[in-house]
Amino acid sequence: MNYFKTAILLAALTALLIIIGNMLGGTNGAVIAFVIALAMNFFSYWYSDKVVLRMYKAQEVDEREDPKLYSIIRSLAQRRGLPMPAVYIIPTETPNAFATGRDPEHAAVAVTKGIMEILNDDELEGVLAHELSHVEHRDILISTIASTIAGAITMLAMMARWAAIFGLGGRDENNNLFATLALAILAPIAAGLIQMAISRSREYHADEGGAELSKKPLALASALEKMENYARRKPMQNAREHTAHLFIVNPLSGEGFASLFRTHPSTEERIKRLREMAGQGH
């Protein structure tokens, strides 16, 4: 179901790009904006793992340095037939985790120091299974595609705003200035909403995949509840807004934002779904 939802949302983003491109800049305008956005996201796709790990001062560990963490990840990866990812620890007390890397062969799983202190072994396994589900389903690639299309839409909208300001109009002489400005303002908002919906859909899917892999949906639900409660009391101090979507729970805390603008689903809803999975015997 989440695969279908993601496909529909990506199709909606693509359709929005085509519509905006044709209305504001013609086919050539849409192609140019897409190529520029693609070039901007190329670096992100290939090198974002190194950048984000360095940003959070993550330290790579091996089996000798942290045998429990390494053993759990290796066991889960073998169970799913995935290559062993690089393992990192982030030196912060806020409990959280994320996975990154362009594909399963170049993946990394990072956990904070705090997560090792507040979660029991079953809960930790559930979290790590969630992250390996992101790796298995190439969610970094999916998010990069969504970012590229949304970026192209934003560029087209920016071009349209400048054209309207300087009275250049659009392709059609009958284009209405106010309609063009309205479209230029609303299109990036719509693209952002769709992009965030894709992010939320992938989180639900990783919860399902993690629960299936670990066979412990209730443990994952318990881990999410603990991490969410901690994040609300004490958000991660060095967290960056543009990387918040990578973490299993929002490190900045989701309070104060409308649900449509969240990169993460409601933790309460995620817990409810996991408990339903447990009730169904999964």
Q: Cite the active site residues.
A: 131
Interior CA angle at 202 toward 120 and 17, to 5°? Answer: 155
Residue 98, strand partner residues: 110, 247
DSSP letter string over 192-228?
Answer: HHHHHHHHHHHHHHHHHHHHHHHS-HHHHHHHHHHHH
- Alpha carbon 183 to chain centroid, angstroms: 26
Number of neighbouring beta carbons within 10 Å of residue 133: 25
* Separation in Å, CA 269 to CA 114, 122, 274: 24, 21, 9
Name residue 136's amino acid: E
Residue 112, strand partner residues: 90
Contact yes or no for 220/129 (Cβ under 8 A): yes
